């Protein structure tokens, strides 16, 4: 089968591999769509901290079941997506119902080879019914689930100001679910095109350019002098992460969704006097995936607006590096395998 592998940072190459064989407790999927996400782009850059090379990228997938073992309720030929966070089921995180941060987690496309191939073997427990969603929609459930999970972690309440830093696909998903929680969303980014997308397509309440010198003053004015109760970073940029500690209201909450390799640095007195809460939001749970699917089905969110670029699988190698350039205008690139 044709497979696209990231051999080293900055290098993609097509190779031929044997089609995976069915093993106990697994399912063989025929890949139909692959969404390109920030993790893929950061892996290509060499800036993804949980990454080893060579690696087959791709974990935002829709597919068809070819054959399976232990996939109760699923049938061959069914269109599905899956949760790409494979877990042990035994560690303390799993026992506490949080397999998204399993002590020995295996994230498909990060710790093990992903879906940039014609076929992929996945644990049968990871499968999710398509429930009538399109191939494109199913491939975008995963990044939306990350957004849904972060809002669940933050416990956003109606009327609260929610500052989302980073208007990439993950940040946009955070904004969608913050709005659904009836939060007042403020989008902060350096990319004017993406800020305009937030305003026009997502109808966010407010946008601020991070390139301006008076970000703090603008936040004070927008929030009536309070500052945002919830701050969520979806950039993975160290400078942005450190700066955002200054944007919280007293008793506020700061959630780190973005990920980077460096050490966070902030003023302990400034953080302490707010009695602030700092937390991470990692991956998503099956419940988050189901929530996203239900939200798409009832028409509360429209994922088609995110897809700005489409390519055939054979074209990915030549197009991939272009998506790192903000001037490309990419929000979400979708790879087609049919």
- Look up the domain containing 63 and give its range: 2-139+302-336
Q: pTM higher than 0.85 for the full model?
A: yes
Work out the pLDDT band at 42, boundaries 50, 70, 90.
confident
Q: Which of 6-10, 78-82, 305-309, 322-326 has the highest mean pLDDT?
A: 78-82
Residue at 52 is within a domain: yes
Residue at 289 is within a domain: no
Residue at 324 is within a domain: yes
186 and 127 co-located in one domain: no
Here the CATH number for the domain that contains residue 315 is 3.90.180.10
Work out the pLDDT band at 47, boundaries 50, 70, 90.
confident
* Cα distances (angstroms) measured from residue 195 to each of 3, 200, 208: 35, 9, 8
129 and 157 co-located in one domain: no
Here the CATH number for the domain that contains residue 251 is 3.40.50.720
17 and 128 co-located in one domain: yes
Residue at 294 is within a domain: no
Work out the pLDDT band at 39, boundaries 50, 70, 90.
confident
Q: What total of structural domains would you count in the chain?
A: 2
95 and 214 co-located in one domain: no
């Amino acid at each position: 089968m044709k497979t696209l592998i990231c051999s080293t940072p900055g290098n993609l190459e097509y190779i031929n591999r044997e089609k995976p064989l069915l093993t106990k407790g697994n399912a063989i999927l025929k890949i139909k769509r692959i969404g390109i996400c920030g993790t893929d782009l950061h892996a290509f850059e060499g800036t993804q901290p949980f990454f080893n090379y060579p690696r087959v990228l791709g974990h935002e997938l829709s597919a068809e079941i070819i054959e399976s073992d232990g996939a109760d309720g699923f049938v061959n030929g069914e269109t599905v997506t899956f949760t790409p966070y494979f877990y042990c089921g035994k560690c303390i995180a799993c026992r506490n119902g949080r397999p998204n941060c399993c002590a020995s987690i295996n994230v498909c496309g990060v710790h093990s080879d992903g879906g940039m191939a014609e076929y992929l073997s996945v644990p049968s427990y990871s499968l999710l019914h398509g429930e009538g969603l399109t191939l494109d929609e199913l491939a975008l459930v995963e990044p939306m689930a990350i957004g849904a999970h972060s809002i669940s972690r933050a416990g956003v309440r109606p009327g609260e100001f929610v500052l989302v830093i980073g208007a990439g696909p993950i940040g946009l998903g955070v904004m969608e679910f913050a709005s659904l929680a009836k939060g007042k969303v403020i989008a902060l980014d350096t990319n004017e095109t993406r800020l305009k997308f937030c305003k026009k397509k997502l109808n966010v309440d407010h946008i601020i350019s991070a390139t301006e010198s008076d970000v703090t003053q603008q936040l004070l004015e927008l929030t009536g002098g309070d500052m945002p109760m919830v701050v969520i970073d979806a950039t993975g940029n160290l400078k942005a992460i450190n700066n955002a500690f200054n944007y919280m209201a007293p008793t506020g909450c700061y959630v780190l969704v973005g990920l980077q390799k460096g050490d966070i640095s902030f003023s302990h007195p400034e953080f302490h006097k707010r009695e602030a809460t700092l937390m991470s939001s990692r991956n998503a749970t099956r419940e988050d995936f189901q929530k996203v699917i239900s939200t798409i089905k009832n028409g509360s969110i429209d994922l088609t607006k995110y897809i700005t670029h489409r390519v055939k699988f054979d074209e990915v190698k030549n197009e991939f590096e272009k998506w790192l350039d903000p001037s490309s205008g990419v929000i979400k690139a979708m790879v087609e395998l049919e």
